[in-house]
Structure 1
Amino acid sequence: MENQTSYTDKVMELCLMAGKIMLESGAETYRVEDTMMRIAASFGIRESHSYVTPTGIIFSIEGELTKTKLIRVTERTTDLEKIAEVNSISRKISSGDLSLDEAYQSLKEIESASLQYPFWLQITAASIASGCFLIMFKGEWRDFIPAMIAGGVGLVCVTYFHRLVPIKFLAEFLAAFIIGFLSVLFVKIGFGYQLDKIIIGSVMPLVPGLLITNAVRDLMVGHLVSGLSKGAEAFLTALAIGSGIAGVLSFM
Protein backbone atom coordinates (compact mmCIF):
# COMPACT_ATOMS: atom_id res chain seq x y z
CA MET A 1 0.00 0.00 0.00
CA GLU A 2 2.80 2.39 0.90
CA ASN A 3 4.68 1.50 -2.29
CA GLN A 4 1.55 2.17 -4.33
CA THR A 5 1.04 5.51 -2.58
CA SER A 6 4.67 6.49 -3.19
CA TYR A 7 4.39 5.48 -6.86
CA THR A 8 1.21 7.53 -7.29
CA ASP A 9 2.86 10.55 -5.67
CA LYS A 10 5.81 10.30 -8.06
CA VAL A 11 3.53 10.10 -11.08
CA MET A 12 1.58 13.09 -9.84
CA GLU A 13 4.76 15.12 -9.30
CA LEU A 14 5.93 14.19 -12.81
CA CYS A 15 2.64 15.28 -14.38
CA LEU A 16 2.58 18.55 -12.46
CA MET A 17 6.17 19.35 -13.41
CA ALA A 18 5.43 18.71 -17.09
CA GLY A 19 2.30 20.88 -16.93
CA LYS A 20 4.08 23.68 -15.08
CA ILE A 21 6.94 23.84 -17.58
CA MET A 22 4.54 23.95 -20.51
CA LEU A 23 2.25 26.56 -18.98
CA GLU A 24 5.17 28.80 -18.01
CA SER A 25 6.50 28.49 -21.57
CA GLY A 26 3.28 29.68 -23.23
CA ALA A 27 1.52 26.42 -24.12
CA GLU A 28 -2.22 26.30 -24.75
CA THR A 29 -4.46 25.12 -21.91
CA TYR A 30 -5.76 22.07 -23.76
CA ARG A 31 -2.19 20.95 -24.60
CA VAL A 32 -1.14 21.14 -20.95
CA GLU A 33 -4.17 19.16 -19.75
CA ASP A 34 -3.83 16.53 -22.48
CA THR A 35 -0.11 16.02 -21.84
CA MET A 36 -0.59 15.58 -18.10
CA MET A 37 -3.35 12.99 -18.51
CA ARG A 38 -1.43 11.10 -21.19
CA ILE A 39 1.63 10.83 -18.95
CA ALA A 40 -0.51 9.55 -16.06
CA ALA A 41 -2.20 6.99 -18.33
CA SER A 42 1.18 5.79 -19.60
CA PHE A 43 2.16 4.89 -16.04
CA GLY A 44 -1.01 2.91 -15.46
CA ILE A 45 -3.21 5.60 -13.90
CA ARG A 46 -6.37 5.68 -15.99
CA GLU A 47 -8.51 7.94 -13.81
CA SER A 48 -6.88 11.37 -13.74
CA HIS A 49 -8.28 14.85 -14.09
CA SER A 50 -6.56 18.16 -14.72
CA TYR A 51 -7.87 21.70 -14.61
CA VAL A 52 -5.55 24.39 -15.96
CA THR A 53 -5.84 28.16 -15.85
CA PRO A 54 -3.15 30.70 -16.82
CA THR A 55 -2.20 31.10 -13.13
CA GLY A 56 -2.51 27.59 -11.74
CA ILE A 57 -2.90 23.84 -12.24
CA ILE A 58 -5.17 21.46 -10.35
CA PHE A 59 -4.41 17.77 -10.89
CA SER A 60 -6.29 14.84 -9.36
CA ILE A 61 -5.71 11.09 -9.43
CA GLU A 62 -8.53 8.76 -8.45
CA GLY A 63 -8.10 5.33 -6.91
CA GLU A 64 -8.18 3.76 -3.49
CA LEU A 65 -6.95 7.09 -2.16
CA THR A 66 -7.95 10.09 -4.26
CA LYS A 67 -5.19 12.69 -4.39
CA THR A 68 -5.43 16.26 -5.57
CA LYS A 69 -2.70 18.86 -5.79
CA LEU A 70 -2.60 22.51 -6.76
CA ILE A 71 0.38 24.52 -7.98
CA ARG A 72 0.58 28.23 -8.73
CA VAL A 73 2.11 29.65 -11.90
CA THR A 74 3.26 33.24 -11.50
CA GLU A 75 5.77 33.67 -14.33
CA ARG A 76 4.85 33.13 -17.97
CA THR A 77 6.97 33.64 -21.05
CA THR A 78 7.29 32.28 -24.58
CA ASP A 79 9.65 29.34 -25.00
CA LEU A 80 8.41 27.02 -27.72
CA GLU A 81 11.52 24.84 -27.49
CA LYS A 82 10.70 23.83 -23.92
CA ILE A 83 7.15 22.96 -25.00
CA ALA A 84 8.55 20.80 -27.80
CA GLU A 85 10.98 19.09 -25.40
CA VAL A 86 8.21 18.23 -22.94
CA ASN A 87 6.06 16.91 -25.79
CA SER A 88 8.99 14.75 -26.89
CA ILE A 89 9.39 13.32 -23.39
CA SER A 90 5.64 12.66 -23.23
CA ARG A 91 5.82 10.68 -26.47
CA LYS A 92 8.80 8.68 -25.20
CA ILE A 93 6.88 7.87 -22.00
CA SER A 94 3.87 6.73 -24.03
CA SER A 95 6.05 4.44 -26.13
CA GLY A 96 7.73 2.99 -23.04
CA ASP A 97 11.20 4.38 -23.78
CA LEU A 98 11.48 6.27 -20.48
CA SER A 99 10.99 5.04 -16.92
CA LEU A 100 9.42 7.18 -14.22
CA ASP A 101 12.76 8.22 -12.72
CA GLU A 102 14.33 8.89 -16.12
CA ALA A 103 11.38 11.04 -17.18
CA TYR A 104 11.52 12.98 -13.90
CA GLN A 105 15.24 13.66 -14.32
CA SER A 106 14.75 14.75 -17.94
CA LEU A 107 12.02 17.21 -16.92
CA LYS A 108 14.20 18.59 -14.12
CA GLU A 109 16.93 19.28 -16.67
CA ILE A 110 14.48 21.03 -18.98
CA GLU A 111 13.06 23.10 -16.12
CA SER A 112 16.47 24.39 -15.09
CA ALA A 113 17.80 24.84 -18.62
CA SER A 114 17.84 28.19 -20.39
CA LEU A 115 16.84 27.34 -23.94
CA GLN A 116 16.03 30.84 -25.13
CA TYR A 117 18.28 32.62 -27.58
CA PRO A 118 20.89 35.05 -26.16
CA PHE A 119 19.48 38.47 -25.33
CA TRP A 120 21.61 40.22 -27.94
CA LEU A 121 20.19 37.93 -30.60
CA GLN A 122 16.63 38.65 -29.42
CA ILE A 123 17.31 42.38 -29.72
CA THR A 124 18.78 41.92 -33.19
CA ALA A 125 15.76 39.88 -34.30
CA ALA A 126 13.33 42.44 -32.86
CA SER A 127 15.17 45.26 -34.62
CA ILE A 128 15.13 43.53 -38.00
CA ALA A 129 11.50 42.52 -37.53
CA SER A 130 10.55 46.13 -36.75
CA GLY A 131 12.14 47.34 -39.97
CA CYS A 132 10.48 44.58 -41.99
CA PHE A 133 7.08 45.34 -40.48
CA LEU A 134 7.53 48.97 -41.51
CA ILE A 135 8.07 47.86 -45.12
CA MET A 136 5.14 45.43 -44.88
CA PHE A 137 2.88 48.32 -43.84
CA LYS A 138 4.00 50.22 -46.98
CA GLY A 139 6.59 52.38 -45.28
CA GLU A 140 9.61 53.78 -47.07
CA TRP A 141 13.06 52.18 -47.04
CA ARG A 142 14.61 55.39 -45.68
CA ASP A 143 12.67 54.76 -42.43
CA PHE A 144 13.99 51.19 -42.09
CA ILE A 145 16.92 52.12 -39.81
CA PRO A 146 14.87 54.41 -37.49
CA ALA A 147 12.30 51.64 -37.06
CA MET A 148 15.06 49.12 -36.34
CA ILE A 149 16.57 51.31 -33.64
CA ALA A 150 13.25 52.14 -31.98
CA GLY A 151 12.11 48.49 -32.05
CA GLY A 152 15.36 47.20 -30.55
CA VAL A 153 15.38 49.84 -27.82
CA GLY A 154 11.74 49.01 -27.08
CA LEU A 155 12.55 45.34 -26.42
CA VAL A 156 15.48 46.30 -24.20
CA CYS A 157 13.26 48.68 -22.23
CA VAL A 158 10.36 46.26 -21.71
CA THR A 159 12.77 43.58 -20.48
CA TYR A 160 14.63 45.96 -18.15
CA PHE A 161 11.51 47.59 -16.72
CA HIS A 162 9.87 44.21 -16.12
CA ARG A 163 12.90 43.09 -14.11
CA LEU A 164 12.94 46.37 -12.22
CA VAL A 165 9.20 46.49 -11.48
CA PRO A 166 7.41 43.14 -12.04
CA ILE A 167 4.24 44.79 -13.33
CA LYS A 168 3.77 43.81 -16.96
CA PHE A 169 1.35 46.63 -17.83
CA LEU A 170 3.73 49.30 -16.52
CA ALA A 171 6.76 47.83 -18.29
CA GLU A 172 4.92 47.71 -21.62
CA PHE A 173 3.54 51.23 -21.17
CA LEU A 174 7.00 52.69 -20.49
CA ALA A 175 8.56 50.77 -23.38
CA ALA A 176 5.86 52.00 -25.78
CA PHE A 177 6.34 55.54 -24.46
CA ILE A 178 10.06 55.38 -25.21
CA ILE A 179 9.40 53.93 -28.69
CA GLY A 180 7.01 56.79 -29.41
CA PHE A 181 9.49 59.35 -28.08
CA LEU A 182 12.32 57.99 -30.24
CA SER A 183 10.08 57.88 -33.32
CA VAL A 184 9.02 61.51 -32.85
CA LEU A 185 12.63 62.51 -32.18
CA PHE A 186 13.85 60.82 -35.37
CA VAL A 187 11.24 62.66 -37.42
CA LYS A 188 12.01 65.99 -35.72
CA ILE A 189 15.73 65.80 -36.51
CA GLY A 190 15.14 64.60 -40.07
CA PHE A 191 16.42 61.06 -39.55
CA GLY A 192 12.92 59.64 -40.03
CA TYR A 193 10.05 60.71 -42.26
CA GLN A 194 6.82 58.73 -41.82
CA LEU A 195 6.04 58.91 -38.11
CA ASP A 196 3.04 56.58 -38.19
CA LYS A 197 4.87 53.84 -40.09
CA ILE A 198 7.91 54.02 -37.80
CA ILE A 199 5.73 53.70 -34.71
CA ILE A 200 3.69 50.83 -36.12
CA GLY A 201 6.78 48.87 -37.14
CA SER A 202 8.58 49.52 -33.86
CA VAL A 203 5.80 48.38 -31.53
CA MET A 204 5.16 45.10 -33.35
CA PRO A 205 7.67 43.10 -31.20
CA LEU A 206 5.58 44.08 -28.16
CA VAL A 207 2.26 42.95 -29.66
CA PRO A 208 0.86 39.89 -27.78
CA GLY A 209 0.39 37.66 -30.82
CA LEU A 210 0.82 34.34 -28.98
CA LEU A 211 -1.61 35.41 -26.25
CA ILE A 212 -4.27 36.33 -28.77
CA THR A 213 -3.81 33.06 -30.67
CA ASN A 214 -3.98 30.94 -27.50
CA ALA A 215 -6.99 32.87 -26.21
CA VAL A 216 -8.95 32.21 -29.40
CA ARG A 217 -7.84 28.56 -29.47
CA ASP A 218 -8.91 28.00 -25.85
CA LEU A 219 -12.28 29.65 -26.42
CA MET A 220 -12.90 27.52 -29.50
CA VAL A 221 -12.38 24.27 -27.58
CA GLY A 222 -14.49 25.38 -24.61
CA HIS A 223 -11.82 26.48 -22.09
CA LEU A 224 -13.74 29.64 -21.31
CA VAL A 225 -11.90 30.68 -18.14
CA SER A 226 -8.45 30.37 -19.72
CA GLY A 227 -9.61 31.91 -22.99
CA LEU A 228 -11.14 34.95 -21.31
CA SER A 229 -8.14 35.33 -18.98
CA LYS A 230 -5.64 35.28 -21.83
CA GLY A 231 -7.87 37.58 -23.87
CA ALA A 232 -7.99 40.06 -20.98
CA GLU A 233 -4.20 39.91 -20.63
CA ALA A 234 -3.79 40.54 -24.36
CA PHE A 235 -6.24 43.44 -24.15
CA LEU A 236 -4.29 45.02 -21.27
CA THR A 237 -1.05 44.66 -23.21
CA ALA A 238 -2.60 46.34 -26.26
CA LEU A 239 -3.98 49.06 -23.99
CA ALA A 240 -0.55 49.63 -22.44
CA ILE A 241 1.09 49.94 -25.87
CA GLY A 242 -1.62 52.29 -27.16
CA SER A 243 -1.53 54.40 -23.99
CA GLY A 244 2.25 54.78 -24.16
CA ILE A 245 2.16 55.96 -27.79
CA ALA A 246 -0.83 58.22 -27.12
CA GLY A 247 0.99 59.74 -24.17
CA VAL A 248 3.93 60.74 -26.35
CA LEU A 249 1.80 62.11 -29.19
CA SER A 250 -0.34 64.17 -26.80
CA PHE A 251 2.75 65.99 -25.51
CA MET A 252 4.61 66.43 -28.79
Structure 2
Amino acid sequence: MSLEEKNFLLETCVLAGKVMLENGAEMYRVEDTMNRIAASQEEEGISFVTQTVVLMSLESTKNIQMKRVSERTTNLGKVSWVNDLSWGLSTNRITIKELNKQLREVERYKAPTQVWLKILSSALISGCLMILLGGTWPDFFATCLVGAGGYGAYYISATYLRLKYIDEFISAFIMGSLAFIMIKIGWGFSLDDMIIGSIMPLVPGVALTNTIRDLQEGHMLSGVLRGVEALIIAMMIGAGIAASFGVMG
Protein backbone atom coordinates (compact mmCIF):
# COMPACT_ATOMS: atom_id res chain seq x y z
CA MET A 1 0.00 0.00 0.00
CA SER A 2 1.40 3.37 -1.03
CA LEU A 3 1.73 6.33 1.33
CA GLU A 4 -1.15 8.10 -0.45
CA GLU A 5 -3.39 5.06 0.03
CA LYS A 6 -2.44 4.86 3.70
CA ASN A 7 -3.30 8.52 4.19
CA PHE A 8 -6.65 7.97 2.49
CA LEU A 9 -7.29 5.00 4.78
CA LEU A 10 -6.44 7.12 7.81
CA GLU A 11 -8.77 9.86 6.58
CA THR A 12 -11.60 7.34 6.19
CA CYS A 13 -11.03 5.81 9.63
CA VAL A 14 -10.99 9.20 11.36
CA LEU A 15 -14.09 10.32 9.47
CA ALA A 16 -15.96 7.21 10.61
CA GLY A 17 -14.86 7.81 14.20
CA LYS A 18 -15.89 11.47 14.09
CA VAL A 19 -19.38 10.69 12.79
CA MET A 20 -19.92 8.03 15.44
CA LEU A 21 -18.59 10.18 18.28
CA GLU A 22 -20.73 13.16 17.25
CA ASN A 23 -23.84 11.01 17.40
CA GLY A 24 -23.49 9.34 20.78
CA ALA A 25 -21.46 6.16 20.23
CA GLU A 26 -19.41 4.67 23.04
CA MET A 27 -15.66 5.27 22.95
CA TYR A 28 -14.74 1.61 22.66
CA ARG A 29 -17.19 1.19 19.76
CA VAL A 30 -15.62 4.15 17.95
CA GLU A 31 -12.08 2.80 18.38
CA ASP A 32 -13.13 -0.74 17.46
CA THR A 33 -14.82 0.44 14.24
CA MET A 34 -11.79 2.50 13.22
CA ASN A 35 -9.43 -0.41 13.87
CA ARG A 36 -11.66 -2.84 11.95
CA ILE A 37 -11.69 -0.54 8.93
CA ALA A 38 -7.89 -0.49 9.02
CA ALA A 39 -7.74 -4.27 9.47
CA SER A 40 -9.95 -4.80 6.42
CA GLN A 41 -7.16 -3.20 4.39
CA GLU A 42 -4.54 -5.41 6.07
CA GLU A 43 -3.23 -2.60 8.26
CA GLU A 44 -2.97 -2.47 12.05
CA GLY A 45 -4.64 0.64 13.40
CA ILE A 46 -3.69 2.63 16.50
CA SER A 47 -6.63 4.74 17.65
CA PHE A 48 -7.26 7.08 20.56
CA VAL A 49 -10.60 8.74 21.22
CA THR A 50 -11.79 11.23 23.85
CA GLN A 51 -14.95 13.30 24.13
CA THR A 52 -13.55 15.97 21.82
CA VAL A 53 -10.77 14.40 19.75
CA VAL A 54 -10.38 11.45 17.36
CA LEU A 55 -6.77 10.32 16.69
CA MET A 56 -5.66 7.56 14.33
CA SER A 57 -2.39 6.15 13.07
CA LEU A 58 -1.12 2.94 11.48
CA GLU A 59 1.68 0.64 12.61
CA SER A 60 3.27 0.90 9.16
CA THR A 61 3.50 4.69 9.04
CA LYS A 62 4.42 7.60 11.27
CA ASN A 63 1.57 9.74 9.97
CA ILE A 64 -1.27 10.67 12.32
CA GLN A 65 -4.63 12.16 11.47
CA MET A 66 -6.86 13.96 13.93
CA LYS A 67 -10.34 15.45 13.93
CA ARG A 68 -11.85 17.62 16.63
CA VAL A 69 -15.43 17.08 17.75
CA SER A 70 -17.01 20.28 19.01
CA GLU A 71 -20.70 19.35 18.99
CA ARG A 72 -22.30 16.10 20.12
CA THR A 73 -25.84 14.85 19.96
CA THR A 74 -27.69 11.53 20.16
CA ASN A 75 -28.54 9.98 16.80
CA LEU A 76 -28.13 6.23 17.07
CA GLY A 77 -29.42 5.87 13.51
CA LYS A 78 -26.17 7.37 12.21
CA VAL A 79 -24.13 5.14 14.51
CA SER A 80 -25.90 2.09 13.12
CA TRP A 81 -25.43 3.45 9.58
CA VAL A 82 -21.66 3.69 10.05
CA ASN A 83 -21.58 0.20 11.58
CA ASP A 84 -23.37 -1.19 8.54
CA LEU A 85 -20.94 0.54 6.18
CA SER A 86 -17.87 -0.72 8.03
CA TRP A 87 -19.33 -4.23 8.01
CA GLY A 88 -19.87 -3.90 4.26
CA LEU A 89 -16.18 -3.02 3.86
CA SER A 90 -15.09 -5.97 6.01
CA THR A 91 -17.15 -8.38 3.89
CA ASN A 92 -15.87 -6.85 0.61
CA ARG A 93 -19.28 -5.58 -0.45
CA ILE A 94 -17.92 -2.04 -0.83
CA THR A 95 -14.48 -0.57 -1.40
CA ILE A 96 -12.61 1.89 0.81
CA LYS A 97 -13.37 4.68 -1.68
CA GLU A 98 -17.08 3.88 -1.61
CA LEU A 99 -16.95 3.80 2.19
CA ASN A 100 -15.35 7.25 2.30
CA LYS A 101 -17.97 8.65 -0.06
CA GLN A 102 -20.88 7.20 1.89
CA LEU A 103 -19.42 8.33 5.21
CA ARG A 104 -19.43 11.89 3.92
CA GLU A 105 -23.07 11.46 2.99
CA VAL A 106 -23.83 10.24 6.50
CA GLU A 107 -21.97 13.22 7.96
CA ARG A 108 -23.94 15.69 5.82
CA TYR A 109 -27.31 14.04 6.38
CA LYS A 110 -29.64 15.97 8.63
CA ALA A 111 -32.95 14.56 9.78
CA PRO A 112 -36.01 16.77 9.16
CA THR A 113 -36.18 19.24 12.05
CA GLN A 114 -39.84 20.08 12.52
CA VAL A 115 -39.97 21.95 15.82
CA TRP A 116 -43.67 21.38 16.36
CA LEU A 117 -43.19 17.63 16.00
CA LYS A 118 -40.36 17.62 18.57
CA ILE A 119 -42.47 19.62 21.02
CA LEU A 120 -45.45 17.29 20.48
CA SER A 121 -43.23 14.23 20.96
CA SER A 122 -41.78 15.69 24.15
CA ALA A 123 -45.29 16.36 25.45
CA LEU A 124 -46.44 12.79 24.82
CA ILE A 125 -43.24 11.30 26.25
CA SER A 126 -43.61 13.39 29.41
CA GLY A 127 -47.21 12.35 29.95
CA CYS A 128 -46.59 8.67 29.23
CA LEU A 129 -43.51 8.50 31.46
CA MET A 130 -45.45 10.20 34.25
CA ILE A 131 -48.01 7.37 34.08
CA LEU A 132 -45.31 4.68 33.90
CA LEU A 133 -43.57 6.14 36.95
CA GLY A 134 -46.72 5.85 39.09
CA GLY A 135 -48.66 9.00 38.23
CA THR A 136 -52.41 9.21 37.66
CA TRP A 137 -54.41 9.93 34.53
CA PRO A 138 -55.92 13.22 35.82
CA ASP A 139 -52.37 14.68 35.63
CA PHE A 140 -51.69 13.39 32.10
CA PHE A 141 -52.83 16.44 30.11
CA ALA A 142 -51.17 18.91 32.50
CA THR A 143 -47.90 16.95 32.36
CA CYS A 144 -48.01 17.01 28.56
CA LEU A 145 -48.35 20.80 28.64
CA VAL A 146 -45.49 21.12 31.13
CA GLY A 147 -43.26 18.87 29.01
CA ALA A 148 -44.11 20.77 25.83
CA GLY A 149 -43.40 24.13 27.44
CA GLY A 150 -40.13 22.92 28.92
CA TYR A 151 -38.87 21.48 25.65
CA GLY A 152 -39.91 24.65 23.81
CA ALA A 153 -37.81 26.66 26.26
CA TYR A 154 -34.91 24.24 25.79
CA TYR A 155 -35.09 24.53 22.01
CA ILE A 156 -35.15 28.35 22.09
CA SER A 157 -32.26 28.47 24.55
CA ALA A 158 -30.17 25.93 22.60
CA THR A 159 -30.85 27.75 19.32
CA TYR A 160 -30.26 31.35 20.36
CA LEU A 161 -28.31 31.40 23.63
CA ARG A 162 -26.13 28.35 22.89
CA LEU A 163 -24.88 28.14 26.48
CA LYS A 164 -24.10 24.53 27.28
CA TYR A 165 -25.71 23.27 30.51
CA ILE A 166 -27.61 26.55 30.94
CA ASP A 167 -30.14 25.22 28.42
CA GLU A 168 -31.08 22.41 30.80
CA PHE A 169 -31.33 24.83 33.73
CA ILE A 170 -33.69 27.15 31.85
CA SER A 171 -35.82 24.26 30.62
CA ALA A 172 -36.09 22.71 34.10
CA PHE A 173 -36.96 26.10 35.62
CA ILE A 174 -39.77 26.58 33.07
CA MET A 175 -41.06 23.05 33.72
CA GLY A 176 -41.12 23.59 37.47
CA SER A 177 -42.87 26.94 37.09
CA LEU A 178 -45.45 25.53 34.69
CA ALA A 179 -46.14 22.65 37.08
CA PHE A 180 -46.90 25.14 39.85
CA ILE A 181 -49.19 27.08 37.50
CA MET A 182 -51.07 23.88 36.59
CA ILE A 183 -51.68 23.20 40.29
CA LYS A 184 -52.90 26.76 40.93
CA ILE A 185 -55.37 26.80 38.04
CA GLY A 186 -56.65 23.34 38.92
CA TRP A 187 -55.45 21.47 35.81
CA GLY A 188 -53.01 19.30 37.74
CA PHE A 189 -53.09 17.58 41.12
CA SER A 190 -49.67 16.06 41.87
CA LEU A 191 -46.78 18.47 41.57
CA ASP A 192 -44.16 15.75 42.04
CA ASP A 193 -45.62 13.47 39.37
CA MET A 194 -45.83 16.27 36.79
CA ILE A 195 -42.26 17.41 37.40
CA ILE A 196 -40.81 13.88 37.36
CA GLY A 197 -42.58 13.01 34.11
CA SER A 198 -41.73 16.26 32.32
CA ILE A 199 -38.00 16.30 33.13
CA MET A 200 -37.40 12.75 31.89
CA PRO A 201 -36.72 13.84 28.25
CA LEU A 202 -33.88 15.99 29.60
CA VAL A 203 -32.24 13.22 31.63
CA PRO A 204 -28.94 12.15 29.95
CA GLY A 205 -29.79 8.44 29.86
CA VAL A 206 -27.63 7.59 26.83
CA ALA A 207 -24.63 9.37 28.34
CA LEU A 208 -25.00 7.48 31.62
CA THR A 209 -25.33 4.15 29.81
CA ASN A 210 -22.26 4.88 27.68
CA THR A 211 -20.32 5.87 30.79
CA ILE A 212 -20.88 2.46 32.36
CA ARG A 213 -20.05 0.61 29.13
CA ASP A 214 -16.85 2.62 28.58
CA LEU A 215 -15.73 1.99 32.16
CA GLN A 216 -16.41 -1.72 31.76
CA GLU A 217 -14.26 -1.75 28.63
CA GLY A 218 -11.39 -0.06 30.45
CA HIS A 219 -11.76 3.40 28.87
CA MET A 220 -11.33 5.17 32.18
CA LEU A 221 -10.63 8.67 30.84
CA SER A 222 -13.56 8.75 28.43
CA GLY A 223 -15.88 7.05 30.90
CA VAL A 224 -15.10 9.50 33.67
CA LEU A 225 -15.38 12.52 31.36
CA ARG A 226 -18.74 11.41 30.00
CA GLY A 227 -19.93 10.61 33.51
CA VAL A 228 -18.96 14.07 34.75
CA GLU A 229 -20.81 15.65 31.82
CA ALA A 230 -23.94 13.63 32.62
CA LEU A 231 -23.61 14.58 36.29
CA ILE A 232 -23.39 18.29 35.45
CA ILE A 233 -26.51 18.05 33.29
CA ALA A 234 -28.37 16.28 36.10
CA MET A 235 -27.24 18.94 38.57
CA MET A 236 -28.43 21.75 36.28
CA ILE A 237 -31.82 20.07 35.92
CA GLY A 238 -32.07 19.79 39.70
CA ALA A 239 -30.96 23.40 40.15
CA GLY A 240 -33.61 24.58 37.68
CA ILE A 241 -36.35 22.73 39.55
CA ALA A 242 -35.06 24.05 42.88
CA ALA A 243 -35.03 27.62 41.52
CA SER A 244 -38.64 27.27 40.37
CA PHE A 245 -39.61 26.06 43.86
CA GLY A 246 -37.91 29.12 45.33
CA VAL A 247 -39.71 31.51 43.00
CA MET A 248 -43.14 29.88 42.74
CA GLY A 249 -43.39 27.95 46.01
TM-score (norm 2): 0.96
**1:53-92 alignment to 2 at 5 Å?**
53-63=50-60, 65-92=61-88
1:73 maps to amino acid = V
Q: Does 1:50 align with 2:51?
A: no
Equivalent residue number for residue 209 of structure 1: 205
Runs of 4 or more off by more than 6 Å in structure 1?
Answer: none
1:231 corresponds to which residue?
227
- State the partner residue of 1:10: 8
Per mean C-alpha deviation after superposition, the further-off stretch among 145-154 and 81-90 is: 145-154
The aligned residue for residue 158 of structure 1 is 154
Q: Where does the alignment leave 5 or more consecutive residues of structure 1 unmatched?
A: none
- Matched residue of 1:168: which SS? coil
The CA distance in 2 between the partners of 1:169 and 1:149, in whole Å, is: 23
The question of whether the paired residues in 2 share the 8 Å contact of 1:81 and 1:115 is answered with no
Structure 2 partner of 1:26 = 24
For residues 222 and 171 of structure 2, the distance between their equivalents in structure 1, rounded to whole angstroms, comes to: 27
Q: Distance in 2 between matches of 1:159 and 1:51?
A: 33
**Aligned 8 A contact 1:176 1:241 in 2:** yes
Contact 1:82 1:115 in 2 (8 A): no
Distance 1:90 1:160 in 2: 37
Which of 102, 114, 139 aligns to 1:143? It is: 139
> Do the aligned partners of 1:154 and 1:176 also contact (CA within 8 Å) in 2?
yes
Q: What's the offset of the Cα at 1:91?
A: 0.4
CA distance in 1, matches of 2:162, 2:46: 32
Match of 1:190 in 2: 186
Deviations 1:186-222 (A, max 9, x none): 1011111111110110100000000000001111111
TM-score by length of 1: 0.95
Cα displacement (A) at 1:97 = 1.1
Contact 2:11 2:65 in 1 (8 A): no
Q: Which residue of 2 aligns with 1:131?
A: 127
Q: Displacement of 1:163 after TM fit? A: 1.9
Range with bigger deviation, 33-42 or 113-122: 113-122
Alpha-carbon contact 2:38-2:45 (below 8 Å) kept: yes
Count how many residue pairs are aligned between Structure 1 and Structure 2: 248
CA distance in 2: counterparts of 1:42 and 1:67, whole angstroms: 19
Partner of 2:101: 105
Distance in 2, Cα, partners of 1:117 & 1:214: 25
Distance 1:119 1:61 in 2: 43
In the TM superposition, what is the alpha-carbon distance from 1:120 to its structure 2 partner?
A: 3.1
Residue of structure 2 aligned with 1:179, choices 175, 181, 200: 175
- Give 1:141 shift: 0.7
Measured on the aligned residues, the alpha-carbon RMSD in Å equals 1.3
Deviation (angstroms), 1:88:
0.4
Aligned equivalents of 1:170, 1:137: Cα separation in 2: 27
Amino acid at match of 1:233: E
Shift of 1:83: 0.5
Q: After TM superposition, give the deviation of residue 117 of structure 1 in Å.
A: 6.5
Q: In structure 2, the residue corresponding to 1:77 is in which secondary structure?
A: coil
Query: 1:172–1:237: 8 Å Cα contact kept in structure 2?
Result: yes
The residue type equivalent to 1:145 in the other structure is F
SS in structure 2 at match of 1:15: helix
Identity %: 41
Which residue type is aligned with residue 150 of structure 1?
Answer: V
Q: 3-state DSSP class of the match of 1:49?
A: strand
Helix, strand or coil: the match of 2:72?
coil
> Secondary structure at the residue paired with 2:98?
helix
Q: Which of 144, 163, 173 is residue 167 of structure 1 equivalent to?
A: 163
Whole-angstrom distance in 2 between the partners of 1:37 and 1:115: 28
Contact 1:211 1:230 in 2 (8 A): yes
